[in-house]
Amino acid sequence: MELVIIVLYLVIILAVGLMAGRGITNLKDYAVGGKSFNSMIIFATLSATFIGGGFSMGNAEKVFLVGIANIVALWGFSFKEILVAAFIAPRMARYPDAISVGDIMEPHYGRGARIFSGIFGIALCAGILGAQVGAMGYIFNLFLGMDRVTGILIGCGIVIAYATFGGMRAVIWTDVIQFVVLAIGIPLTLYFGISNAGGWEAMAARIPAEHLLISTEPAALLSLGALFLTFMLGETMVPPYLQRLMIGRSSRDTTRGTLFSALFSIPFFAITGTIGLVALALDPTLNPNLAMPYVIKVALHPVMQGFVIAAVISIIMSSADSFLNSASIAFINDIVRPLKTTPMEHSTELMLARLTTFAVGVLSIVFAISIDSLLDILIYAYNFWAPTVLVPLAAAILGFRATRRRFVAGALAGIIMALLWNNMFHNPYAIDGLVIGFLSNMAVFFAVPAGE
């Protein structure tokens, strides 16, 4: 029964994705879907995009290990989205023709900054995409007993098919379906999990008290604050999220959709984290990586399991398709276009974008199959984005004096300090290098005279 439900769900996703992608004629349609989406669609696609394996199963695992402090740390991401809704989204109307990060960077910092942001955008997207692809194989293996490689080929093959053909339109409309499924399935998992554990009071009695409290020890608070900042800065305005600020039919729709997504993430992170506590109460000897899958298996009826497994697959697919699309757009729009001496025909750009999407997707499968752990790639990708691109990008959108000199000086300071902090000093006080790199970039960016 679970297999029937999952197969039906995957067929629906593929069909919707392929139908949504019909009628695309140029790169702009492929990248931002005609900028025609309302606030509720933006809310759904943005939420589906950021809710990946880390913010769901990863959160349950961490809460299983360390307690509710990890939920509070994840709210750094929620706080960041509120700030984006308040200060960034309303200003995106200044860039009506933008389809990528480079379209914002070049007018302020020049063609070199556009290419630079394209390269680092691809690195970031490739790292996160690779992690999602690896998680896809893990999910199919764990829930369906399917060989990991076969699971990767099936799940990612579907994502590559509709993302290659339909671009952003296909990604958005499949995201909407995936969001509905995960927004229902994951809370149901928590509800039935608590019931299976005998109710909240019985469950809480079997959980170590420190898991339910936030430590007030200075070292613990410093560590929590650093992790909060890491989640706040790590994915701020990365290409897929920034693209969601470019697809609205008005700045009001963009702002509202972003705010709704930020507010939704607050209880959702609490739900996925609490599932980790349920697993701890049910079996404290459990492998923490299996916290969410374990609760799904022991607490849900087989029919409900099929629906919730589809929700977990949705979590992975909705992030993978967005980062896949963004990687291809960054390559075509921010690297190929500025390096070409003569403009390409619309049909040529579109064909090249589709070929790039397909190629990046296939490469992500190859890496996921050949490399057991992609965590290091993911961490490095995060560390290169926030210390280099985030400060000048935000400064430009917010209207600060943006010049090439500031961009170069800030980026150099950010990446050098991030590398030194992580590799030479080994993350003192549990503060990640991306935080230090970001702060260094910001300090140098505004300290340097705003010359050309």
75 shares its domain with 89 = yes
Distance of CA 115 to the CA centre of its chain: 22
Distance CA(278)–CA(191), nearest Å, equals: 10
183 shares its domain with 330 = yes
From 311, 336, 370, give the residue that closes a domain. Answer: 370
Q: pTM, whole model, 2 decimals?
A: 0.91
Q: What is the pLDDT of residues 53-73, one digit of tens each?
A: 778 888 999 999 999 999 999
Which residue has better confidence, 380 or 408? 408
432 shares its domain with 306 = no
240 shares its domain with 353 = yes
Q: What is the pLDDT of residues 316-361, one digit of tens each?
A: 888 889 999 999 999 999 999 999 888 888 889 999 999 999 998 8
User: Of 59, 20, 275, 58, nearest to 164 (Cα)?
Assistant: 20
Distance CA(43)–CA(426), nearest Å, equals: 38
What is the pLDDT, as a whole number, of residue 412? 95
From 308, 343, 370, give the residue that closes a domain. Answer: 370
446 shares its domain with 365 = no
Q: What is the pLDDT of residues 84-117, one digit of tens each?
A: 999 999 999 999 999 999 999 999 999 999 999 9
pLDDT band at 375 (very low <50, low <70, confident <90, very high): very low
DSSP letter (8 states) at residue 288? G
361 shares its domain with 415 = no
169 shares its domain with 231 = yes
Average of per-residue pLDDT across 278-302: 91
pLDDT band at 271 (very low <50, low <70, confident <90, very high): very high
Assign residue 19 the CATH number of its domain.
1.20.1730.10
Which residue has better confidence, 452 or 251? 251
384 shares its domain with 428 = yes
311 shares its domain with 424 = no
Residue 211 in contact with residue 97, Cβ under 8 Å?
Answer: no
From 353, 370, 387, give the residue that closes a domain. Answer: 370
Q: What's at 355, amino acid-wise?
A: L
Of 171-180, 227-236, 364-373, which gets the smallest average pLDDT?
A: 364-373
Assigned token pair, 245: 């600020």
CB neighbour class for 161 (10 Å; exposed up to 12, middle 13-18, buried from 19): middle
What total number of domains does the chain contain?
2
Which residue has better confidence, 126 or 291? 291
281 shares its domain with 378 = no
- Averaged pLDDT score across all residues of the chain: 90
What is the pLDDT, as a whole number, of residue 374? 43
Range of the domain at 381: 374-452
305 shares its domain with 440 = no
What is the pLDDT, as a whole number, of residue 380? 62
The number of CA neighbours under 13 Å toward the Cβ of 404 is 9
112 shares its domain with 186 = yes
Three-class secondary structure of residue 284 per DSSP: coil
